[in-house]
Structure 1
Amino acid sequence: MCSPSSLRRRRLMLAMAGATVLVAACGKKPEGAAQPQEIESATACVLDGMLLADYPGPKAQIFYAGEARPQWFCDTVEMFHALLRPEQVRPVRAVFVQDMARADWERPRGHWFDATTGVYVAGSGRHGSMGPTLASFRAESDASAFIARHGGRLLRYAEVTPELADLSGGAMHDSRM
């Protein structure tokens, strides 16, 4: 028997596949591959309007089908929250996060990679824009080194659950509000 989170992920994958088939059936050109964009001084989080450049920790961007620009998230927890909600059925073209082994934690810029190929650290002593975060890494060895310094546990993309992407109480951790 499948767990509820496993069923949600399967529904999301099926919705994405169905949308791709519908687009092809309508005779429309498929969208080109999305390329990560860079944070600018006015880049704001889609959920709360916070300016990404003003906060530490890993950031994320989601490209939805039919949209040329990404929706930005000031934290990876917010990204996972958006993707793992049961009502999320919009087809996703690409999801990018930052490699925190390469990006500066306090002022992260660049070092974007496909979020689905990464590893994440939950429960570390490092905080992102809204408190506890899921630190993103391209390489497992970098995530393991981060765990040795800051604690936490390693997770693959598919292992992140809705419970780990809980946004309740995030504002309590924001010291800049």
Structure 2
Amino acid sequence: MSEQFVHLRTIKSLLGGVFLFLSFALLQGCGEETEKTAMVRQAIAIESSDECHMCGMIITNFPGPKGQLYSRGISGNMRFCSTRDMFAFIVDPENQHNIQEAYVHDMAVTPWDHPDDETYIDAKKAFYVIGHGKKGAMGPTLASFSTQADADAFVSSEGGSVYRFEQITLELLVSMNSLRVKPSLPQTSE
């Protein structure tokens, strides 16, 4: 074997090693960027002056669960005064395939009148009650829960029906006014 052939083979091995190292480093870097991006796309505290992305109303002025989401093509976090407004954005055909992350309050662990910013859950995994008697911003809203058991308990006390994220449609949102539970009149004794 010639000395030149051995030298060429050594250079190829070194270049192959360098290429392998750079490829691994690039892949590792991409993974870290994805993790950093995901860490940034989380529910954030709603400030007293934050306005609803759909209607422009001040979010903290209203009771009931709120929503937040991230969508491709829109920079930053979009916040909503109610889960109903958030879903109105989500089910719009122009938006539905661009939703990256969405968050709602877990109403089993936070007060209805002033939901706590520490109680946001993944909206795509939540259970929703529609047709209950509680008010949100501008009327009926979707009560959101992290478990089926909590949603069922809410239905037992407040009325309504349980739905999953993928079951929420524009038709269902439009029909929410007619699905509302009528409060029962108190019994009078004669």
Give the TM bin, normalised by the shorter chain: 0.7 to 0.9
Matches within 5 A, 1:147-162: 147-162=155-170
Conservation of the 8 A alpha-carbon contact between 1:125 and 1:151: yes
Kindly indicate whether structure 1 or structure 2 has the higher relative contact order, using CA contacts under 8 Å at least 6 residues apart.
1
CA pair 89-129 structure 1, distance change in 2 beyond 3 A:
closer
Structure 1 runs (4+) deviating above 3 angstroms are: none
Partner of 2:70: 63
TM-score, normalisation: structure 1: 0.73
Q: Which amino acid aligns with 2:142?
A: L
Distance 2:47 2:115 in 1: 11
Distance 2:103 2:86 in 1: 10
* 1:85 Cα deviation from its structure 2 partner: 1.1
* 1:43 Cα deviation from its structure 2 partner: 1.3
Matches within 5 A, 1:4-153: 30=34, 32-33=37-38, 34-65=41-72, 67=74, 69-88=76-95, 91-110=98-117, 111-153=119-161
Q: Which amino acid aligns with 1:127?
A: K
Distance 1:94 1:71 in 2: 10
How many pairs were matched up? 142
Distance 1:99 1:51 in 2: 21
TM-score, normalisation: structure 2: 0.68
* 1:65 Cα deviation from its structure 2 partner: 2.8
Distance 1:36 1:167 in 2: 28
User: Secondary structure of the equivalent of 1:113?
Assistant: strand
CA pair 90-116 structure 1, distance change in 2 beyond 3 A:
closer
CA pair 89-106 structure 1, distance change in 2 beyond 3 A:
closer
Structure 1 vs Structure 2 CA RMSD: 2.2
Which protein has the larger Cα radius of gyration, Structure 1 or Structure 2?
A: 2
